[in-house]
Amino acid sequence: MATATASTNPSASASTPSASASTLASASASASASASFAFPREYHFPAFYTRQTNLTTLHAQRTKWSALILAYARHHRIFRLALSSAADTDLFFNRRLDRRLNADDIRDVVDFMRKDGRAEYVGGGSSGDVVFLFWRKPDEWAGLVETYVDQSGQKGSVLTVYELVEGDGTKGTDIHGMDTEVLLKALNVIVKRGKAQIFGQDDSLGVKFF
Amino acid sequence: MFLKSIDLTTALRPSYLPDEVLLFVRDNVGLYEGKSKLRDQQNGQVYLTSHRICYVDQKEPRKRSVALDLKDVDRHEFYAGFLKSSPKVTLVPKPLKRGSYHTRVLSSVSSSPRSVPGSPGHSEGAYRPPADPPTATAATWVCTICSFSNPVPSNFDPTAANAHTPLPPCLACGIKPTLSHVLKAAISNANNRPSPSPAISTSSPLALRSGPSDPQSMSESQGDLLTSQLGDMSIGGLNGTNGKGASFECPRCTFSNHPSLNSCEMCGASLVSRDIPTSVQQDSMSDATRAESPGPVKDQSKGQNDMPENIKLSFRGGGGPIFYERLKGSMTQRKWLLHNAPPAPKTNRMLNESNGNGSPGSPSGGRAKTAGIAGLEQLGLNMRKNNEILIGSAFEDLEALMASAKDVIALAERFARQTNNGQDSATAEENAILAESASQLGLITTKDIVGGGSSESLYLSELSRNLAEFLTDDSRGVLKKAGGIITLVDLWAMFNRARGGVELVSPMDFEKAARLWSKLKLPVRLRTFRSGVMVVQSRDRTDSTTVKTLLSWLQDLHEFPPDRDVPWDWQVFGRGVTAQEAAERFGWSLGVAEEELMMAEERGALCREEGLEGLKFWVNYIDDGDTAKVKGKVRKEHDQIMSALKHSGLL
């Protein structure tokens, strides 16, 4: 299933392309690529863009937004989201309905996701413009990396972070093209488990698995 | 029956007859029949109207409420209360002319533990005809067998007696007399002549007390009746033994009897005289049955007395004197007669004119002369003249005004209707309410009616009932017109307007009265929205039913396409609605619509959308609802497949 042959109607397409088909790494997705993402039903519901006053409904609304953002990020392999610029993307702006989620509400959802462990501000803290989106949580990534190392028989050997992200060995896996910082968070989890060790400096970080 | 069960309105007040006017209301009232309490009617409200006295029970108003017509009341007495006994108003019914005493005698025999030994048969059923004071010597008949002088049964009515009237047997020998014999005795007594003693005189002291059975004999119509007065003084008849001082001389045989006896020991003649002041009688009665004491309770299982000797209202919460004052007033006015009263007296002038000009009322010759438009005009002219005379004569003096009150009110209503004719419907509606208020004057609760502000709570509860009636009145349809819900402020304005500018209710009282609805279990309820707005709606309309109606309306919007093109899939989501639209749809006021939508949102049935077009409400597709919907869709698809398979003959 090719991404180039997308229909113009976002709601009509129900196809779920495999993760490997997409190589997009940033939020600036092309129109044709975003068309292939199947938005959930709520995306086309006008009231979905208004912050609800009923607490139960509000919780459901946040949950659904959170799910939508993560699914969107997973589809487009977005690891970092710049909130100010993302407000104008399809994710938060439904051009057909002419409804958008305003900046305050986006931050509200992000805060909700942070509590859930699904997002984190870049640089830490409780504010900022760019957030990490953990459509896989760091320990999930850690598990993924471990299995990769296991399966490729590289236990005991030393790998550089660059190798993991850009190297040919990880091609075809989700690790390929990962955000470096997210990968580092994952590797740190492995280190804490006592199954790896990180060494080296900023640019040339290496990791040894045991 | 003297006491009749009555219909109650939705607000558990007696429903009034036409022209009936409420005069007084009092709560905490108990009923007595004779000296016994009526077990089921010991705590209720008493409504005195121009026509009736209604008792509405507190606990089981629908079952136990009774009323008695004032026209059936012969005499009324007031007892001011003594020590612990509450003030009481005694009502004595008018005698009924009927022939069936069977049940009465039976019941009195069965329930006569307090009756005098000498006359077990007829102490209870006796009532005193009040118009003519009872004679000291009651009528007696002399037994043809044993020559014992028996008293004629107190309830024996010569005019109504016939072959089926049960007659008690001789007290001494137990032989039943013939009807003609007793009749003769009664008549001769009525003529104030000593009854002739029959020849045969054998004394056989057989105390055979067989129950009354069917008598034989013929029927005869007679003159006035005179009943013996037994039983009213029965208290103390059993225990009085030590009295030495005053003795009662039998008016017939001159035997000196013990004062506590009420029939002669020798000849059995009644000893109750009219000299005994009524207050004494009443004191003795009410001493035995004060409110707090567990006085004798009437046993209703043992046959109902068709005609009780009297009915007493015991005012345990006070208010007796005012009640009695008003009762006296309405007994004097006798409004129930007015119901069939002739129209206002026409003056001679009027009669002359109507004869001369041929008024519409009289089919005299003058009418034939004027036909067509001229005739119609003449007719109108006559009518106006008639009205003029009526109004003029009405104000001549108060007497005349009262006499023609009915006509004047009718006239006023007609004027009100006429002024409506040329105007738009909105004001016409208002005027109609105003005009109606004239006829409603009798039904309103005022502080005066409940006894001069002595009891604030009674006034409020009456006002509360009054309001509930006003709301549920189908002819007015106050609630219906407002879409089943109305703000308290609007209702207050409407209610006071309907009162026609008199006896206006203060907002404080109004709110307090409205708060009583739930306590009084009335069919309307007061609801306070989160914003503090208070609204009134009928009891059966709860929040969940409102939500249901809202949802079904929104569901309809899935079926009907919106007025203009919308970017979303309206078949899936329907359409958002504003408070304005909801108000129009359900006839609510805007504030109410807003509150109802908020309430539905609060319950999670709706969700909101704030946009350029203002606040809109949608069916809540955000929260969970969709999973159920998806399931429903799946099931529907499944059903479709199944039916298709069945259709094609595969299943």
pLDDT for B195-207, tens place per residue?
444 444 444 444 4
Contacts of A11 in chain B (CB under 8 A): 569
Of the candidates B569, B604, B624, the beta carbon closest to that of A44 is on B569
Q: Which residue has the tokens 């006829």?
A: B439
CB contact (8 A) between residue B604 and residue A42: no
pLDDT of residue B429: 54
The neighbour count for residue B95, using CB atoms within 10 Å, is: 18
Of the candidates B572, B616, B623, the beta carbon closest to that of A57 is on B623
CB contact (8 A) between residue A42 and residue B621: yes
Contacts of A48 in chain B (CB under 8 A): 621-622
Length of chain B: 651
Contacts of A99 in chain B (CB under 8 A): 611
Contacts of B567 in chain A (CB under 8 A): 96-98
Closest CA to B58 of B520, B532, B586: B520
DSSP secondary structure code for residue B577 in this structure: B
* Beta strand ranges found along B187-331 (DSSP E): 248-249, 256-257, 297-298, 311-315
Q: How far is residue B235's CA from residue B288's CA, in Å, rounded to a whole number?
A: 9
Confidence class for position B87, pLDDT limits 50, 70, 90: confident
Mean pLDDT over B164-170 rounds to 76
Q: How far is residue B588's CA from residue B479's CA, in Å, rounded to a whole number?
A: 10
Contacts of B623 in chain A (CB under 8 A): 56-57, 60-61
pTM: 0.49
CB contact (8 A) between residue B602 and residue A41: no
Please state, in angstroms and as integers, the Cα–Cα distance from residue A131 to each residue in A94, A117, A122, A124, following that order.
21, 12, 5, 9
Chains A and B form CB pairs within 8 A to the count of: 67
Å between A35 CA and nearest CA of chain B: 17
Closest alpha carbon within chain B to A61: B622
pLDDT of residue B302: 44
CB contact (8 A) between residue B568 and residue A45: yes
Q: B259 pLDDT exceeds 50?
A: yes
Q: What confidence tens digit (pLDDT) does each residue in B612-647 have? A: 888 889 888 887 654 444 445 556 667 777 777 677
pLDDT of residue A14: 38
CB contact (8 A) between residue A46 and residue B568: yes
pLDDT of residue B202: 41
Interface test with B, best of A9, A48, A52, A63 (most B CBs within 10 A): A52
Q: Which carries the bigger pLDDT value, residue B185 or residue B235?
A: B185
CB contact (8 A) between residue B620 and residue A45: no
pLDDT, chain B, mean: 69
Q: B375 pLDDT exceeds 60?
A: yes
Question: Cβ neighbours of residue A186 under 8 Å, at least 6 residues apart?
Answer: A138, A139, A141, A142, A144, A145
Q: A10 pLDDT exceeds 50?
A: no
pLDDT of residue B376: 86
pLDDT of residue B520: 82
Contacts of B616 in chain A (CB under 8 A): 46-47
Q: Kindly indicate whether the ipTM for this predicted assembly is greater than 0.90, answering yes or no.
A: no
Question: Cβ neighbours of residue A123 under 8 Å, at least 6 residues apart?
Answer: none
Confidence class for position B361, pLDDT limits 50, 70, 90: very low
Contacts of B604 in chain A (CB under 8 A): 54, 56-57
Closest alpha carbon within chain A to B624: A60
Helices B372-394 and B405-420 pack at an angle, to 10 degrees, of 130
pLDDT, chain A, mean: 78
Helix (H, G, I), strand (E, B) or coil at B276: coil
Helix (H, G, I), strand (E, B) or coil at A70: helix
The answer to whether B235 and B289 have CB atoms below 8 angstroms apart is no
The answer to whether B137 and B187 have CB atoms below 8 angstroms apart is no
Q: Which carries the bigger pLDDT value, residue B405 or residue B109?
A: B405
Q: Give the lowest-confidence range in B31-40, B287-296, B330-339, B635-644.
A: B287-296
Q: B462 pLDDT exceeds 70?
A: yes
Closest CA to A210 of A192, A198, A194: A194
Closest CA to B139 of B196, B75, B208: B196
Contacts of A49 in chain B (CB under 8 A): 609
Closest alpha carbon within chain A to B602: A54
pLDDT of residue B219: 40
Q: How far is residue B52's CA from residue B67's CA, in Å, rounded to a whole number?
A: 7
Q: B333 pLDDT exceeds 50?
A: yes
* A153 sits in which H/E element: none
Of the candidates B568, B572, B607, the beta carbon closest to that of A97 is on B568
Interface test with A, best of B607, B610, B616 (most A CBs within 10 A): B607
Contacts of B569 in chain A (CB under 8 A): 11, 44
Confidence class for position B115, pLDDT limits 50, 70, 90: very low
CB contact (8 A) between residue B618 and residue A47: yes
Q: B136 pLDDT exceeds 60?
A: no
Å between A64 CA and nearest CA of chain B: 8
Mean pLDDT over B170-187 rounds to 80
pLDDT of residue B541: 79
Please state, in angstroms and as integers, the Cα–Cα distance from residue B318 to each residue in B25, B81, B456, following that order.
11, 10, 13
For the record, the structure tokens of B58 come out as 């507190």
Interface test with B, best of A51, A56, A57 (most B CBs within 10 A): A57
Nearest 10 degrees: CA dihedral of B286, B288, B292, B293? -170
